[in-house]
Structures are given as C-alpha cells and as structure tokens.
Structure 1
Amino acid sequence: MASALSLAPRALYEEVAELLRQRIFRRELEPGSWIDELKLAEQYGISRTPLREALKVLAAEGLVTMKVRRGAYVTEVSEADLRDVYHLLSLLESDAAGVAAGRITEDQVRELQDLHQQMEAAAGDTERFLALNERFHMRVLEIAGNRWRNQMVTDLRKVMKLHRRNSLLKSGRVQESIREHRAIMRALAKGDAGAAAQKMQLHFRHGLEAAG
C-alpha cells in the first residue's frame, strides 16, 4: 500500500493525479465507473483534500467527469466525442507531419526509424506498442516545433487513450497501423511535406474506423 511519503517530491495532488491517470489508462478504473474517494484516500494514506485536487486536474483533462451531488466518474467517451477527438488530432498531427518533413535532419530520421523498428518488434505487446506509438507521434510534433500544438495534442491523446486499446485489439489493426507508420516514415525521410501530411491524415482516418 502506498504511503503519502512515497508520493514526494512533486506536489501531492499532482502525484495522485498521475497515479489515477495511469489506473484509468490501464482500465483498472473503467469508463463510467464511480471513483470511491474514501477508498482511494485510504489506499494512498492521504486526506481527501489532495485527492479532490487531483480529480479536478483529471476533470480538466477530460478523463474524469464531476457530477453534482454524485461525485467523480471516469469519463465515458461517446462516438461523437471520439469522432471530434480524431478529427482534431488528424488536423493537428498532419500539419505537424508536413512541417516536420520540411525541417527534419538525418539524425532525426534515424531516430524515428529506430522508434519505428522498435514498434514493429513490439507488435505482440499491446502496452509497449502503444507507448512506442505515442513516442513516435510526439517526436514528430517536437521536430515540427510548436509548443501550443504539442499541448493540444497531449490533452487530446489523453482522452483518446480512454478508447484506444479497444481499437488495437481489432483483427489486423496493429499490422495496419505499422504499415501506415512506415508510409509516414518514408514521406518524412524524403522531405515530402504533402505526402507526410496526407499519410498522417489517412492514419487517423483508419484509426477512427477501427475505433468505431
């Protein structure tokens, strides 16, 4: 059982928010489930004050929904929510891919190729595949260099994670995703901004189809 002392050195509520965030992503706290504040406070050896502050952080990220006189619930992502999130990610990340293609260096190409190879090797390990996939996408964003876009994508990806695992479990989706990343990688390596943006858009379109 975790103790309050083990949650230092970050502000206590921030550390609690990260613990809960990871439990939500791992489905230990299922979408739509009620969050038992008293039970969690006892588990972490803390008062309910930092726990409630942590829940406010997660609510701002869209991972938790606060209901009047009913408490906090893990957010359930509707089909409309999912379409909206994928639409925005497609716009933001395809734009980033186009920008990145115009400025990417040989060292950065090799870095992305290495990440892609690790992702292919992790095709049978969903958790590792997801982690490497996100690293690949976020590295493209970093290369494109717009911190405001990066922040928006980071927040949207947190909501996407509420549903993402289910889409990857669909037959053939992992291998299809790998092929799409391979095409994005080729366009980036060639410095083809138009192709990089188009391949990224296609990637998100197929991701939404698999998630639906």
Structure 2
Amino acid sequence: MAAVDTPPTEAPSPRPLARRALYEDVADRLRQQIFARELEPGSWIDEQRLAADYGISRTPLREALKVLAVEGLVTMKLRRGAYVTEMSRNDVTQVYHLLALLESDAAGSVARHADDAQRARLRALHDQLEREVRQRDAFFATNERWHMALLEIAGNRWSAQIVADLRKVMKLNRHHSLFKQGRLADSLAEHRAIMAAFEARDADAATRLMRAHFAGGLEAAAG
C-alpha cells in the first residue's frame, strides 16, 4: 500500500508576552517618590490620596506597597496602614555590615578572576567617578553602578540581588555617608586603592580595602 502523505503539523503559535502589571509601575513610582523624599522616612502613606493622585483603584496600590515592604522600603503596621521605613542607627550599622561582607567577598573574587575586559569596565566607571567628584548626584549614580558592576563580574547572582535590595534601603538613611563634608573625596581615594588591587590581582588587598571602604562609609553615615 502506498504511503499517504500527511501535512506537517503546525507548531503552536507562541503565547504573547504578558504586559507589565500595573502594580509594578505603581511600585516604581512610589519607590522614586520615597528616594526623592517626597514621601519622608517615618511618614504614613495615605493610600486614598495616592490612589486618587495616580488615577487608580487602591488594589494595585496595595499590591505595590507589598512589593516595597519586601524590599524594606515600606513597613506595614497592623490596623495602622503603611509607613515609609525609618532607619535607626542600628539599622544603618547592620546594613553596612552585610554590604561589607558581601562586597569584600566579591572584590576578592574580582581580583582573582576578572579578565581584561571586566577590569576595563570597572576602570571606565571609576574614571567617570573621578570626573564627577564635584557633582554629588551624578557621583551617587555612578558609584552605585560601579558597585553593582563589581557584583555582576563576581558572578554570584544571589549576592547581587541582596546587595541591590540593601542599597535601596540605604537610600532611606537621612545621613547618607556621601552627604558628609569631604566623604566624596575619601570614597574616591578608597576606590583608587581598590582598583589598584584589582589591576595587581591582589585578592587579599582588594578584600581588605573594600571592608575599609565600608567602615569609612559607616563612620560617615552614623556620625
């Protein structure tokens, strides 16, 4: 019997990608208002007013608040609602302690394993910091990019995720370390020393210098 040709089976059409949920956009907007101090640490979050300002129902707003609570930016209080998290001196100390542990470990890894292109990436960000030392807001942004690039190059995504959340919480501190007179210049000098350790592939020095970098930051932030 002759074989019967059968038409090829059509591959199923790919499912369309889901659109970004509204609560994620709301969380972004709230996060930026908190960082800009439009919503001050310790202040009560008026859900009804914000929902009206945003032109949304309270459901996506509440979902957004849950996201920010997980990040540590918002504190939910039973029967009292949501508040912007306020950092105590002990909170600041604990955050710096964790950052020092995670980023000093990453610095040692980068000194040991980074290739030429990865070190060049950190060098380019450092050179940008050198140019921005008198421009505080720009320095803040580039400094964060340098630190997050370090974590990415180190290759531990769990450390990178934890550090990203801790750095969000750091922005709640009313006495951010880089606000202190002279701290930008000190921070930049510490970065220079760390970069030199990377280029020398000296993991012990990179680890030690990164710990010292955070000790200096904590002294400025808690002082």
TM-score, length of structure 2 as denominator length: 0.88
Aligned with 1:131 (options 141, 147, 172): 141
Amino acid at match of 2:203: A
1: CA distance between counterparts of 2:124 and 2:174?
A: 23
Deviation at 1:125, TM superposition (A): 2.2
Task: State how 1:30-179 maps to structure 2 within 5 Å.
Answer: 30-163=40-173, 166-179=176-189
Structure 2: any 5+ residue segments left out of the alignment?
A: 1-17
User: In structure 2, do the counterparts of structure 1 residues 166 and 157 end up closer, same or farther at CA, with 3 Å as the change threshold?
Assistant: closer
2: CA distance between counterparts of 1:145 and 1:204?
A: 21
Q: Residue 208 in 1 paired to residue 218 in 2? A: yes
Structure 1: any 5+ residue segments left out of the alignment?
A: 1-7
1: CA distance between counterparts of 2:218 and 2:63?
A: 33
Contact 2:129 2:142 in 1 (8 A): yes
Q: By percentage of residues, which structure has more helix?
A: 1
Amino acid at match of 2:144: E
Deviation at 1:124, TM superposition (A): 2.3
Contact 2:170 2:176 in 1 (8 A): no
SS at match of 2:173: helix
2: CA distance between counterparts of 1:67 and 1:46?
A: 23
SS at match of 1:163: coil
TM-score, length of structure 1 as denominator length: 0.93
2: CA distance between counterparts of 1:170 and 1:77?
A: 17
Deviation at 1:191, TM superposition (A): 0.9
1: CA distance between counterparts of 2:40 and 2:82?
A: 12
User: In structure 2, do the counterparts of structure 1 residues 165 and 129 end up closer, same or farther at CA, with 3 Å as the change threshold?
Assistant: farther
* Percent of aligned pairs sharing the same letter: 63
Residue by residue over 1:38-64, the C-alpha shift from the partner in whole angstroms, topping out at 9 and shown as x without a partner, is: 111111111000000000110111100
User: In structure 2, do the counterparts of structure 1 residues 164 and 115 end up closer, same or farther at CA, with 3 Å as the change threshold?
Assistant: farther
SS at match of 2:172: helix
2: CA distance between counterparts of 1:121 and 1:186?
A: 18
SS at match of 2:120: helix
Flag as ranges the 4+ runs of structure 1 deviating above 4 A. Answer: none
SS at match of 1:66: strand
